[in-house]
Amino acid sequence: SQQGEEDPQALSIQEGENATMNCSYKTSINNLQWYRQNSGRGLVHLILIRSNEREKHSGRLRVTLDTSKKSSSLLITASRAADTASYFCATVNSMDTGRRALTFGSGTRLQVQP
Amino acid sequence: NAGVTQTPKFQVLKTGQSMTLQCAQDMNHEYMSWYRQDPGMGLRLIHYSVGAGITDQGEVPNGYNVSRSTTEDFPLRLLSAAPSQTSVYFCASSAFGTGELFFGEGSRLTVL
């Protein structure tokens, strides 16, 4: 079962514009993470936000978390062609203390046009 | 520092054949896991391990077997390959308490 659902499924923007991706999830969580996947490659961790945090920044990335709405957003500012990739949110269920399993959404495909 | 290494990168099998996907990490991570990635379905957890000698099932374990004899290695065995196991497989590891997963580059498997 998929915990996180990203929206939109695909996004095409021009270089320099901002890109916003949203994620909704279903259960109580310990943390929410965002990953990036370039075509044909493995996933790379971008940022982790804990359930008691509301906003986090890392370089050009800004992540927000609203646990009351069970949603998160990832903002990439001043996008570059190199940001073209798929972006996934992933959550750790707060009841799943043993497995520490990340449950992934189906991802947002971001295309940044030069 | 190699991180997480998966082999092979590509494999074609016939239905009923068996094979092992290898995964090794050099970061001394206690936690290792296998995911499969299918179009439109994100990644789904197959099996995981929280340390040498300890393994457990994830969301989609049927048809797969794992073992963890060392901290470094976590092979995934397909017992009798089926076309439904055509997928891209990812091995990932993490250290306790960090939450961040480190992924390998993936193994693309096609079962005919």
Ranges of residues in chain B with a pLDDT under 50 are none
Contacts of B43 (CB under 8 A, 6+ apart): A43, A88, A90, A102, A104, B35, B36, B37, B90
- DSSP-based three-state secondary structure for A83: helix
Q: Which of residues 77-96 of B touch A (CB under 8 A)?
A: 90, 92, 94
Q: Residue A12: beta bridge partners? A: A111
Does the pLDDT of residue A101 top 90, yes or no? no
Percent pLDDT > 70 in chain A is: 93
The reply to whether residue B105 touches residue A92, judged by beta carbons under 8 angstroms, is no
pLDDT on residue B109: 97
Q: Do residues A36 and A46 lie in contact, with contact meaning Cβ atoms separated by under 8 Å?
A: yes
pLDDT on residue A70: 95
Nearest to B107 by CA among B93, B90, B85, B95: B90
B4 chain-A contacts, CB cut-off 8 A: 42
Does the pLDDT of residue A2 top 70, yes or no? no
pLDDT on residue A87: 96
Given B43, B102, B106, which is nearest A104 (Cβ)?
Answer: B43
pLDDT on residue A1: 41
Mean pLDDT, rounded, for A92-113: 82
Which residue on chain A is closest to B95 by alpha carbon? A100
Q: What is chain A's mean pLDDT, rounded?
A: 91
Percent pLDDT > 90 in chain A is: 73
